[in-house]
Amino acid sequence: MAKFSVLDLSPIVEGGDAASALRNSIDLAKRVERLGYHRIWLAEHHNIPSVASSATAVLLGQIAAATSTIRVGAGGIMLPNHAPLVIAEQFGTLEALFPGRIDLGLGRAPGGDQATAYALRRTLIGGEDRFPQDVLELMAYFAPPEPGQRVVAVPGAGLNLPIWILGSSLFGAQLAAMLGLPFAFASHFAPAQMMEAVALYRRLFKPSDRLAAPYVMLAFNVVSSDTDEEARVQATSLMQAFVNLRRGTPRPLAPPRAGFEATLSPMEKAMMDSVLTCSAIGARDAVARGLQTFVARTGADEVIISSSLFDYRDRVRSFEIAMEAWRAIEAGRADAA
């Protein structure tokens, strides 16, 4: 059975603030650890009013300190925004403090618009085009130092830190396969090329000293409540977020809005249907069916779920129901065996 994990974007809600969002992320990590989730990842985004996890490594340190067994990682660090040495030192520090529990997922997008990317980097020269070289440089910093090596990551050098390649297109799949690294696909918001990317990654994968066989983690939206009707209304917060991003008007996560879908234009409705392809919205049985179908269709080694709900209590309940659904799937497989 595939592993089951959590993707947290540390959402800032309308009427809330970043401090509350960050406290909720720490609390959520403790809760999903108790529920039995395998790992929790947070993502680097910038200049987005609904996301508080911009200083990702800092927040991961707080989450790792508040938990004891769950794996904690970045899904991901947008490597073009940073010098590889800086990331090696940051995640080397995390691994030194919390050995055997830290993951480093790497993406090549800026995590914001072009103006934000320039503000982060001061130059856009190279950028995403240098991503493969930057990944190799970063991996080298985690290797044992060579005699005479002039630049060493301290902490970082010699640490066995899992590195993942993230992607929403075929590029990441090819790079992960070439380097023999695990691959995570952002199917929770960009599902169009998911199946093609997974097939390409598995076909081209070259075993490495880090990974002997291909390993795929796929992202999946879950909005779950005690009834299908409640879940559908709660999901309108996520829907509004997608629409606002596509309109170029990002804002804090909005409260649920009954009837929201009826206000969408035909083009927006088609966009919503597409972007929510990898999603399950409903009570436990509906979520179980959605997850089971998704794993059967993709052969995912791991599913990482995102659950964006306006009310934090509803969000916690959604993760609880999702785990109940996952356990029901596992029990069904055991009975079938």
- The closest of 51, 48, 35 to 318, measured between CA atoms, is 35
Tell me, what DSSP letter sits at residue 160? -
Neighbours of 218 (CB within 10 A): 27
Q: Does domain 3-336 have CATH number 3.40.50.1100?
A: no
- Which positions of the chain have pLDDT values less than 50? 337
Res 85: pLDDT: 96
Rg of the chain taking only CA atoms, in angstroms: 19
Q: What is the pTM of this model?
A: 0.94
Calpha distance 214→179 (Å, rounded): 11
Residues 293-333 have pLDDT tens digits of 999 999 999 999 999 999 999 999 999 999 999 999 988 86
Task: List, in order, residues 6 or more apart from 129 with CB less than 8 Å away.
Answer: none
Residue type, 222: V
Give me 324's structure tokens.
């109940």
Res 122: pLDDT: 55
Calpha distance 157→222 (Å, rounded): 38
Mean residue pLDDT across the chain: 93
Tell me, what DSSP letter sits at residue 81? G
Task: List, in order, residues 6 or more apart from 266 with CB less than 8 Å away.
Answer: none
Residue type, 179: L
Do 62 and 26 meet the contact criterion of CB atoms below 8 Å apart?
yes
Give me 211's structure tokens.
């990974």
Domain boundaries, the chain: 3-336
